[in-house]
Every structure is written in C-alpha cells, then in structure tokens.
Amino acid sequence: MSGSMQPRAAGVSRRAVEVVTASAFAAIGIVGLWDSSRIGAGWGTDGPQSGYFPFWIALIMTGASLFTLVSAWRDAGPDETFLTRPQLGLVLSILAPATAFVLAIAWAGLYVPAALLIAWFMARLGGYSWRAGLLTGASIAVLSFVTFEIWFLVPLPKGPLETWLGY
Amino acid sequence: MEQLGLLFQGFAVALEPQNFVLMVIGIVLGVVIGVLPGLGGANGVAILLPLTFSLPPVSAVILLSCIYWGALFGGAITSILFNIPGEPWSVATTFDGYPMAQQGRAAEALTAAFTSSFVGAFFAIVLITFVAPAVAGFALKFGPPEFFAVMFLAFASFVGMSRTAPMKTLTAMMLGFLLAAVGMDTVTGQLRMTFGSVELMRGFDFLVLVIGLFGISEILLSIEEGLAFRGKQARITLSTVLRTWRELPRYWAISLRSSLIGCWMGITPAGATPASFMSYGVAKKMSRHGADFGKGRIEGVIAPETAAHAAGTSALLPMLALGVPGSPTAAVLLGGLMMWGLQPGPMLFVEQKDFVWGLIASMYMGNLVGLAIVLACVPAFAAILRIPFAVVASTILVVCAIGAYTVHNAWFDILLMLVFGVVGYVLKKLDYPLAPMVLALVLGDRTEQAFRQSLLMSQGDVAIFWANPLVATIMAAGIALLVWPLANWAWGQIGALARPKITETP
Amino acid sequence: MKAVTRALAAMTLAALANPAWAQATWEPTRPVTIVVPAGTGGGADQMARVIQGIVTKHSLMKQPMVVVNKAGGAGAEGFMDVKASRANPHTLLISLSNMFTTPLATGIPFSWKDVTPVKMMALDEFVLWVNAESPYQTPADLVAAAKAAPATGRLKMGGTGSKQEDQIITAALTQATGADFTYVPFRGGGEVAVQLVGKHIDATVNNPIEAVSHWKSGALRPLCVFDTKRLPYTEKVTATQGWSDIPTCQESGIDVEYLMLRGIFMGPGATPAQIGFYTDLLDKVRGTPEWKDLVASGAFNQTTLKGDEFKAWVAREEERHRALMQKAGFLAATN
C-alpha cells in the first residue's frame, strides 16, 4: 500500500486506512439496511416498526461513509503516514500478546493467561527479569482470584488449573 | 419545621458508633468496587445484602447506601487516570479529566471531581430533605412522551460539539445508534441484527464497548509514542488539594447549574448518565472557553461530576417515594428493603419515619466521610501513574478483561472489548469523534423506546409530543438548543455577506 | 467435615419418607451458581437473591451460592447457557414464564425438556389494577369502557416486556371479553405501576408486590385477581380491604386465569442424588421465616411441586402458553 513516490516515511498510508475504514462502515450500514427491511422498516398504524429507526440510521451512516470514502479517494493532496514501521511494530508488540491473552481465556481461564501476560509485558517490554515478571504476574493473578472468586463471589472464567484446585 | 426535628433525630441514629463504623467500611468498600471495572455498585450491594439480615434495617441500609456513595466517588478515579470509565456516568469525566492527567494535573482533576461529586450530592440531599413529597409528585408527571422530550434535550445540548469533519461525526453517531439497536427490541420483542447468534442477542453493552474504545485504545496510542504514560513525573502532595480548593469557588455558577440539571434528571427519572452528558454540553456551550473543552479544562470535570452525583443521589427519592429503582444498584437496594420488611413506596415516609430520616441523615454523613477519605487518598491514587508502563499496561488489560466479562459473564464480550480497542485506536487517529458515538450508544435504545411507547399511546399521532405544557416546554427547549448555534452561525454569515455589499454601494 | 457428615445424616433421615432420597449422599463441591434469565432487580432476581441470603444466613449449604444474571434476548442467553452445562451439578436456573414465552416468541432452540425440573417454589399472582381516581369500580366497568372507546382512543394497558406474560394476559382478556386494549410495554413492573399512578396508562396487570404500596397509599385500586380462587391473605392492606377481599376475575365474569412460575431447574443430565440434595435444600429455604415474609409481602400463591408432578405441570403449562400465544399471534415465524 505504501507508494514509494510519496514524500512520507515508510509505513501504513493514512489514505489507505481512511478508505478501508469508510468502506467497512458503509458495509456495516448496508447489512443494517438489509436486516431492517427484512423485519419491517415502515411506519405502522401504531408508530414506527422495529426496523424503522435502524433503517434510517443505517442509511445515513452508509451515505456519510460513502462521502468520506469518495473524498479520501479523490483527495489530491500528499498522503500522510498513518503509522510508521517502527510504530506499527510497537503497537503489534502489545496487540499480539493481548490477542493471545483473550483467546487463551476461552480455554485456560482468566487467571493463568493473566499471570503470563503480565510476565511477558514486564520481561519483553519493561526489561525486567522473567523471574520478577512471573512473580508479579502470579501475585496479581492470585490477588484477583481472592478478590473476585472468594471475597466478592463473582465467578470469572476458569480453566483446568482451577478445576484441578477444586474451583 | 417538622423536617429539621426529624433530621436531627436521624443524625442521632446515623452517629451511633456501630452505624458510623459501618459507614466508613461501606465507603472504603464502595471506592474499591468503583475503581475495579469488574465490580459495580450493584455487585457490591448484592453481595453484602445477605450479610445485612442480622443488622437492624437502618444500619443495613446505611452500610449499603455508603457502598453506593463510595462507588460513585470511585468511578471518577479510573476515568481520570487511565481514560477508563468504570461506570456509564463517568464517561463525560474522561473528556477533560484524562487530558488533565496527561498534562500532569491528575491530582487537580481528582480533587475537582471528588469535590464536585460532594457538592452535587449535597445539593440533592438538601432537596430530598425539604421538598421530598412535592418532588415525588413531579416525577409522576413523566410518561413516555415527557421522557422522550428529556432525552431529546440531552442530545440537543450535546450535538454541535465537535468541529472535525461533519460526515465523520455523523458516521460515528449513527454507528453508536446502530450498535445500540442490536439485540431484542423491547417494544415488539423482535430480534434485530442478531443473525441467529445468541451472542448478539445480548446486544452490545455500553461498558464493554467503552472499555475497549477508551481504555484499550489509549494503551495502543501511548505505546505508539514510546513506553510511557505521560504526566507521570508530576509531584503530588496534599497541598495540591488545598490549592485546587482555592480555585473551585470561582466555578460556583457551573456547580449550581450542574446540580440543578442533575437533580432534575435524577428525579424524572432519566438518570445520572444523560445528566452528566447534558451538563457537560451545556457548560461547554455557555463557556467563553468552549473551544478548549476536551483539552483539559477543569470545568469539563466539574460539570459532569456534579450533575452525575446530584442525579445519582436524587434518584433515590423516586425509589423511596414511588418504589421505582433508577439504577440496578437501586433495584438491589429495593429488594433489600423488602427483605427487611419495609415496603418502599408512598407509605414509607409515613410509616417508617425513623428509617427514612436515618437514611437521609446517613446520606449527609456518608458523603462527608466519603469526601474526606477519597481526598486523603488523592496522592496515593495519583502515585499509581508512577508505576512502570509495562506493569500498569498489562494490569489494565487484565482488569479491563475482567470488567468486560462481568457485565454479562460472557467471554465473547472480552473479545468484543479487544476488537473495539483497535476500532477506537483507528477512529481516534482518523479524527472520528468518539463522544457522539458513545452518547448515541448509551441513550439510543431508551430514546427510541420512549418515542415508540409514546406513539403506541397516541396510536401513531405525533402530536403527543406537544400535547401538554410540560412536554411542549421541554421539546421547545431542546429545539432552541439545537437551533441556537445554527442561528448564531447563520447570523454571522448574513452579517459577513451584508457588510461587503454596503461598502460596494456607491 | 464431621459437622457436614452429621448434617447429611440428619438430612437423609429427614428424607427417609421418600425412598428416592434415601441414597442422597451427594453434596456440592464448589460454589453453586443460580442463573437468572432476567435483569437485576426483577421478580426472579429478587427471589434468587433472597434464596442466596437465606442459604447464607442459615448456613444451609457448605459451599457459597452465587447469583448470575443472563438477561440477553429476554432470557435466551441464560437458557442456552444452562442447556449447555450438561451434567454440571453446580448450576441452577431460576425461571419465570419466559421459559415458555421466549423460545416461542423468538424461535431459539430451547425447551424446558433441555433442563431438569427440581422444584416449584411458588406461583406469582396477577391482579388487574386501575387508578383509584378512575371511574372503574369493577372489572365489568373497565371492559364496558374499553368496548365503548372509539377505535382511535383505545384504553391503554401497561405491562412488562413484549410478547411476555403481561401481554399474554392482555390478549387473553381481549379474547375473553371482546374489549380491545392498546398494550404499551415498559421495562419493569415498578415502572408500570408508577405510570398508572401518573395516569399515563389506564390499567395494568401488575404482580401484587409491584403495586401493593400504591394500593396502600390509595393511588391504585385492584379490580380482580387472575386466579381460580381468592388469595388467602386476610390481613388488611388498606383501611377496608385485604388481599382476600379482591374478587377473582372469574367471579366477575371474565374467564381468564394466569399464574407465573417461580421454579428452580438444573442443567441436563442431573443425577437423582443431586436433584434430591437441591429439593431438600429448597424445602429448608421454604421453611424459614424470611421466606414466609417474602411470600406474604408478595401475596404469592404458595403451591409447591417437585419431581414428576412438577414435570407434568411444566409440560401442561408449555402447551397452554403455546395455545395462548398462537391465538394472540405471538409465535415466531419459524415455529
């Protein structure tokens, strides 16, 4: 996407992101239009039907995003950098472990992935030793466990380890 | 002055050593609950409810209502420090509170927030003390059309705020409305935009989205600029509190106006969230520095916090006097009242004077004690900002995940939070304003519901929205607020057009 | 552990009358979750929290009890969740009528046969209310007025939710009398009662507990109760009337009867020993003074059923809901 002709730092083009975002909104709007007309988007005898408001909202949204899309497309000015390569790397260094964390919760429960996430952040991004990271992570996980599961009786996702411990 | 006598009896009850200790415990617990996004006031009250059966009803309700006050105070802390609103009514506090923290003025923002909360709550309690029965009568005048008019007014006071690309503002707001519409339509029971998915039937919960849009995206934005939360070098001592206090009296007009907005919205009962948005919007429109709002104006913290707490407190009035809970927390409290053998409703003020006045007295005391406790902790809260980013960011991620999960006990919501974190990050960088989107997300559903209930009642006749003086007045005020900036702008345009013409005439 | 064993032994002895419980040697090994397929503060939620409170206060169970709300899609979320927790004896479901109405109205793949009925705790009554300042003294007055109203100004009936119990009763009322009402849905019973006090609507079918304080204060007037016999609570609520003074709707010539289930269910695949444990636990809950207070303040119908009788009752009730909703046109298109 990054054209070498443009006078900007290497990275993600702002115009490209602008176009993708606007298209995504337009697509969501069209899905909304389709579903609303399916359930009835008219004005019944007792006021608007279920799909009336969503229909008009989706219509306005589609229109507005198409406008943004076209003006981004036709914008003749120089393109800007949305995100430089090093910045992208930094953002991904957080986003990737965060995604792994969220996916892991589904089968390993919340506490173990939480401890590992904190350890990873401290060791990889914070420059701490793995020992310090794991120790901090484990203590925060245990603290949350005690607070939520035992003290406030709020059940959070639990995995094999918690089951093994009898929770 | 029968009320004053009863009130002093109430103070005697609230100041009994046992009750006072319970009050302090309640406030501290409440602040903890308010700070952790995974726990709301409703959780705290529900969990402690069973433990209160052995206490006398007055002591029990003092404990539980103090948890409620504590949670109200606590909600502002994460909004200001991390841009993560723990409760819906703290969203507007982030608009200026978080920029202040970034500029190293976290302690100032926290002090202003806590003090304003106290002022708002105090104003509402005085109102409850002296005009309770009359005010309860006013609440009865609000049917669906009036409720819609109030919501319309809240929107009207808020729109026209951002001066970024109008098409992007429109898109963001419509996205908020559309997301709010997903799930079951309460008026007809029809499922909308769920596509057969049970996960979507739940709808998009406001808190899940806001935690992602505001909290997670902020972490991504800060890492982009290097590994640090800005403003961490600020030195914070208790003297900052005193310095901020010396400045606050200057904003008495905003406080008074916000308290009035809050009480009105609390009683009607539209609630604390629209109150905070409306108050922020009005403060911005009336201010000479309106353009600087959102960049760290202290008024932008004072206005929403005062209104939210005035509303949160005055919302207890319809609960006690009419038996309608204004919030989930109030609903759990209401259940508690019944368990203690008290029937909330119009007869409570007549049959259970000791209880009612003990509770009202405990509101005064509880808020005062709460203010003292949270202010004393301001340096401690602000010191959190000095913890290294790697620890704070990962802990915030974990706490946000817990918060998103507990809203509906659903893993899907954690995923949603992460997705909206990325969405929020991209939108912020592309200058899509998030405030209108969040406003639409919070109020969209209830506004549509009120609109359609009204039309059901009138069998499709829109004249119901100006059928009586009350609803017509509110609608007119809303239209005036909408038209005012437009008219201002048009006036300016006409002036600009007219002047050159004059010079051209020979 | 000794105390538990002793308690269990006592429990077993107490249960000897029923041979099925004789081998009830199971007890929960981790916290027990009650899933509420409705929001915080509603009738089912209140009952779940009262049960939680009673169990905690009287130490009826060694493990803690946790209440979890799963209200999405009119309870669909909660039902699907319990359906998915097969052979998990630590999840309970407290149900109301939406156990029948939600699957029928939305077409979600759930039926009561997907869960295990444990015990009916009580039945919730419905009362026809009007504003005390309105001219309607009897149900017949209201019906006559509704019939006389022009098509453009129909009387307004307020209720909780859409295509759920309140609207079903309204539809049944129309079918029985021929009087048309405009049904206006609100979010909760308390709100409905206040709308009636404020005269924004003309009548409601609120549960007793939702409207009693307004009756006491003289703002509302009960016209009739949707049960086959009058309520047993004779204590005066107002100066002149108690619950037992309200006529049944059948007495007043309106042949509509409706009671709402308040029952406890387990997930699929529960063993008899597990069902036995909870049946016994809930029996003890019903014996406490706190429970009796709740039942009296809400004027509940104290019918309780368990085992096969309960199953048969639930099956009958589902059929009845299907018939009622079919007549009213509330069934999902897919059914």
Q: pLDDT tens-digit profile of B174-208? A: 999 999 999 888 788 788 888 878 788 888 888 88
Residue A162 confidence class, pLDDT cut points 50, 70, 90: confident
Residues of A in contact with C66 (CB under 8 A): 153-155
What percent of chain A clears pLDDT 90, i.e. is strictly above it?
50
Distance, in Å, from the CA atom of C52 to the CA atom of C60, rounded to the nearest integer, reads 10
Of C29, C68, C182, the CB nearest to A155: C68
Q: Provide the percentage of residues in chain C whose pLDDT is more than 70.
A: 91
Q: Do C116 and C134 fall into the same domain? A: no
Same domain, C40 and C141: no
Q: What is the pLDDT of residues C1-38, one digit of tens each?
A: 444 555 555 444 444 444 444 445 788 988 898 998 88
Rounded Cα distance, C254 and C238, in Å: 25
Integer-rounded Cα radius of gyration of chain A: 24
The residue among A77 and B93 whose pLDDT is bigger is B93
C32-36: strand order across its sheet: C65-69, C32-36, C91-95, C260-266, C116-124
If you average pLDDT over residues B351-377, what whole number do you get? 85
Average the pLDDT over B414-443 and give the result.
91
Nearest-CB residue to A153 (from C29, C64, C182)? C64
Q: Out of B265-269, B330-334, C190-194, C217-221, pick the least confident.
A: B330-334
> Do both C233 and C265 map to the same domain?
no
Neighbours of A164 (CB within 10 A): 8
Confidence band of B297 (pLDDT split at 50, 70, 90): very high
pLDDT tens across B442-466, in order?
888 888 889 999 998 988 888 999 9
Pairwise CB contact (< 8 Å): A82 & B429: yes
ipTM higher than the 0.85 cut: yes
Q: Which chain B residues touch C52 with a CB distance below 8 Å?
A: 50
Residue C103 in any domain: the answer is yes
Cis peptide bond prior to B485, omega within 30° of 0:
no
Of the candidates C13, C46, A94, which has an alpha carbon nearest to the alpha carbon of residue B221? A94
Express each pLDDT in C123-137 by its tens digit. 999 999 999 999 999
- Please list, residue by residue across C101-131, b when 16 or more beta carbons sit within 10 angstroms of its beta carbon and e when fewer do: bbbbbbbbebebebbbbbbbbbbbbbbbbbb
Digit-coded pLDDT (tens) for C57-106 = 888 988 888 888 887 778 888 898 899 888 889 999 998 888 999 999 88
pLDDT at C249: 94
Average pLDDT over all residues of chain A: 87
**Residue numbers in A near B185 (CB within 8 A):** 50
Q: Is the pLDDT of residue B272 over 70?
A: yes
**Beta-carbon contacts of residue A9 (< 8 Å; ≥ 6 apart):** A81, A84, A85
Nearest Cα residue in chain A from C333: A39
Neighbours of B239 (CB within 10 A): 10
> Both C164 and C271 in a single domain?
no
The answer to whether the CB atoms of C33 and A153 lie below 8 A apart is: no
Give the count of Cβ contacts less than 8 A between chain A and B.
176
Same domain, C46 and C96: yes
Q: Is residue C111 part of a domain?
A: yes
Q: Residues A6-25: pLDDT tens digits? A: 455 677 888 899 999 999 99
B394: amino acid identity, one letter: S
**Mean of the pLDDT values across residues B12-16?**
81
Q: What is the pLDDT of residue A104?
A: 96
Give A-chain residues touching C68 at CB under 8 angstroms. Answer: 155
Residues C170 and C266 in one domain: no
For residue C44, what pLDDT is reported?
84
Same domain, C156 and C240: yes
Quick one: pLDDT at residue B342? 74
| Residue C253 located in a structural domain | no
With respect to residue C282, please indicate whether it lies within any of the assigned structural domains. Answer: yes
Number of residues that make up chain A: 167
**Structural domain includes residue C208:** yes
Nearest C-alpha in A relative to B182: A54
Which residues of B fall within a CB distance of 8 Å from A48? Answer: 451-452, 455
| CA distance readout (Å), A121 to A72, A102, A143 | 37, 15, 18
Residues C33 and C92 occupy one common structural domain = yes
Residue of B nearest to A70 (CA): B167
Interface test with C, best of A153, A165, A167 (most C CBs within 10 A): A153
Q: How confident is the model at residue B502 (pLDDT cuts 50, 70, 90)?
A: very low
Q: Do residues C241 and C264 both lie within one domain?
A: no
Domain interval for residue C280: 2-124+260-328
Q: What is the CATH number of the domain that holds C319?
A: 3.40.190.150
Domain check: are C91 and C115 in the same one?
Answer: yes
User: Are A51 and B398 in contact (CB < 8 Å)?
Assistant: no
* From A119-133, B338-352, C60-74, C143-157, the region with the lowest mean pLDDT: B338-352
**Is C30 within 8 Å of chain A by CB?**
yes
Residues in chain B: 506
Query: Same domain, yes or no, for C22 and C89?
Result: yes
The answer to the question of residue C254 being in a domain is: no
Task: Give the count of beta carbons closer than 10 Å to the beta carbon of residue B386.
Answer: 13
pLDDT of C332 above 50: yes
Residue C97 lies in a domain: yes
Would the CB atoms of A155 and C30 count as touching at under 8 Å? no
Chain A, 54 to 93: residues with Cβ < 8 Å from chain B are 54, 57-58, 60-61, 64-65, 67-68, 71, 82-83, 87, 90-91, 93
CB contact under 8 A, C73 and B198: yes
From chain C, pick out residues whose CB is under 8 angstroms from the CB of B343. 212-213, 216, 297
Distance between A31 CA and the closest CA of chain C, angstroms = 20
CA distances from B309 to A49, A154, B367 (A): 36, 27, 10
**Ranges of each domain in chain A:** 11-79, 85-164
Domain count, chain C: 2
Among B327-331, C4-8, C261-265, the range scoring the smallest mean pLDDT is: C4-8
Kindly indicate the confidence band of residue B76, based on its pLDDT and cuts at 50, 70 and 90: confident
Question: Chain A partners of C29 at a C-beta cutoff of 8 Å?
Answer: 166
**pLDDT mean over A71-81:** 82
Same domain for C204 and C288, yes or no, is no
Write the CATH number for C175. 3.40.190.10
From A153, which residue of chain C is nearest by alpha-carbon distance? C66
Residue B185 is predicted with a pLDDT of: 83
> What is B26-85 written as a DSSP string?
HHHHHHHHHHSTT--HHHHHHHHGGGGGGS-HHHHHHHHHHHHHHHHHHHHHHHHHHS--
List all residues 6 or more positions away from C274 whose beta carbon is below 8 Å from its beta carbon: C26, C89, C266
Per-residue pLDDT, averaged over A90-106, amounts to 94
DSSP letters of A73-142? HH--SPP-EEEEHHHHHHHHHHHHHHHHHHHHHHHHBSHHHHHHHHHHIIIIIS---HHHHHHHHHHHHH
